[in-house]
Amino acid sequence: MISRKIDEHQISKAKLLIDNASKVVIVCHMSPDGDAVGSSLAMAKIMDKLGKDVHIVVPDPYLANLKILPGAKEIVESSKYPDFARQLFDEADLIFCLDFNELARVGRLEEILKEAKAPKILIDHHLNPTVEADVVISHPEMSATAYLVFRFLCRLELFNFIDKDIAQCLLAGMMTDTGNFAYNCSDPELFVVVAELIKKGADKEKLYYDLFNTRSANCMRLNAYAILNKMEIFEDYGAALISLSREELNRFHYTKGDTEGLVNRPLAVPGICYSVFLREESNLIRVSMRSLGDFPVNKVCSDHFQGGGHLNAAGGDFYGTLDEAAAYVRSILSENKRKYITKQE
C-alpha cells in the first residue's frame, strides 16, 4: 500500500472530466524524454481501454531510444504533421498536460494549446506550475510524472487496468528521471511502486539496456572527447564546466540525445557538487546544470539563464557566443558559492 498524496477534490474533478470525454489528446513537453513519453503512452493506453479515442501529440521529435516503448510509433509529431495536430486539439474534449509546468515548454504547440477549448488535466512534478488547467495535480516532491500517473490511476481505481505495456512505460519514466534510481529517489514508496510494476510484467533489465546502455560509437567518442579535452574543473568552487561547439558536435556526427547525461559525469569527481554543460545550437547556447546536495541549480538557471527546473537538475538558454557563455559561467562561480554554499565554511 502507498499513502494518499493527491487531493481528493482534484481526483473527483478529473474522474468526471474523463467520464464525459470521448476524444482525448495527451501532450507533453518539447524534446520529450523517457518520463514525458512514458507517462503519455501509459495514459493513452488507459484511455484506450476506457473506450476513448486518444492521441498523443508531441511538439518535436523524441529520442530514438524511446521508440522501443510499447505504442511509441503512434505518437503524432506536430513538427511533421502540424495540421493534423491542430485538428486533434480542436476536436478534443479532454486534454492531458503531462510532465511540464509552463506553456512555453510545449514550444510550437503553445498557441494551439492556449486556444484549445477542451478542459485540461495537468499532471506534473516541476515547481510552480503556471499552466491554466481545470485539474492541477502538481507534486514537485515526486521523482517522476510517471510515478504520479501511477498514483493517479490507483486513485481512479484503475490499478487493474495497468497491464504489462503500461507498467513498462511507467517504469521507463521513473527510471529516466532518477537516472536508473541513482538520484532523486529517497522516497521509499517509489520502490513499492517499482515492485508493483515488475509484478505487472515490466522488464527493468531491458529498459536499462535500451534507455541507459545503448549508444553509437560516435556518441561514445563525443563523450570521451568532451571529458578528455573539454572538462574544466574549478576546485575552489566545487564546480565543473564542459562546453561543446557546433563544429565539435559535427565532428562526431552529433544526433539528438548524444550528450544526454554528459552533464552528470563531472559530479563523479570528489569535491565537485556543481556541473555545467554548454552546447552550441544554431541560434543560442543551451545550458544544462546538475548538482549534488542542496546547491540549487534551478535558482542559478532562473537568475542567469532564463530557465529553471529542479533543485539538482535544471536548464536554460544563453544568447551570445559559446565563449561568452563559458566566460559568463566562470564569472558567476564565486557569486554562486557565496550565495548557495553556506554550510561548508
Region from 49-57, 140-148, 242-250, 309-317 binding Mn ion, contact rule CB under 5 A: 140-148
Binding of residue 280 to Mn ion (CB under 5 A): no
Binding of residue 260 to Mn ion (CB under 5 A): no
Among the listed residues 159, 191, 154, the one whose alpha carbon sits nearest the alpha carbon of residue 4: 154
Report the nearest approach of Mn ion to the CB of residue 186 (Å).
17
Among the listed residues 191, 295, 184, the one whose alpha carbon sits nearest the alpha carbon of residue 239: 295
Region from 143-151, 215-223, 289-297, 300-308 binding Mn ion, contact rule CB under 5 A: 143-151
Nearer to Mn ion by Cβ, of 128 and 321: the residue is 128
Nearer to Mn ion by Cβ, of 124 and 280: the residue is 124
Nearer to Mn ion by Cβ, of 140 and 320: the residue is 140
DSSP 239-308: EEEEEE-HHHHHHTT--TTTTTTGGGGGGGSTT--EEEEEEE-SSSEEEEEEESTT--HHHHHHHHSS-E
Nearer to Mn ion by Cβ, of 39 and 336: the residue is 39
Nearer to Mn ion by Cβ, of 166 and 174: the residue is 174
Among the listed residues 109, 144, 114, 130, the one whose alpha carbon sits nearest the alpha carbon of residue 35: 144
Burial class (CB in 10 A: 0-12, 13-18, 19+), 247: exposed
279 has which bridge partners? 244, 286
Per CB under 5 A, the list member of 99, 196, 248, 260 interacting with Mn ion is: 99
Report the nearest approach of Mn ion to the CB of residue 122 (Å).
13
Q: Scanning the structure block, which residue is given the C-alpha cell 549534488?
A: 292
Report the nearest approach of Mn ion to the CB of residue 252 (Å).
28
DSSP 314-345: EEEEE-S-HHHHHHHHHHTHHHHHHHH--S--
Report the nearest approach of Mn ion to the CB of residue 140 (Å).
11
- In the DSSP assignment, the letter for residue 63 is P
Per CB under 5 A, the list member of 177, 196, 258, 260 interacting with Mn ion is: 177
Region from 103-111, 176-184, 290-298, 314-322 binding Mn ion, contact rule CB under 5 A: 176-184
Report the nearest approach of Mn ion to the CB of residue 282 (Å).
26
* Cβ neighbour number for residue 319 with a 10 Å cutoff: 11
- In the DSSP assignment, the letter for residue 178 is T
Region from 53-61, 170-178, 203-211, 246-254 binding Mn ion, contact rule CB under 5 A: 170-178
Binding of residue 145 to Mn ion (CB under 5 A): yes
Region from 22-30, 33-41, 265-273, 294-302 binding Mn ion, contact rule CB under 5 A: 33-41
Distance, CA of 13 to CA of 121 (rounded, Å):
9
Residue type, 339: K
Report the nearest approach of Mn ion to the CB of residue 205 (Å).
22
Region from 60-68, 138-146, 230-238, 288-296 binding Mn ion, contact rule CB under 5 A: 138-146
Residue 160, SS3? Answer: helix
Per CB under 5 A, the list member of 10, 35, 75, 100 interacting with Mn ion is: 35
Residues lying near Mn ion in the complex (CB under 5 A) are found at 35, 99, 145, 177
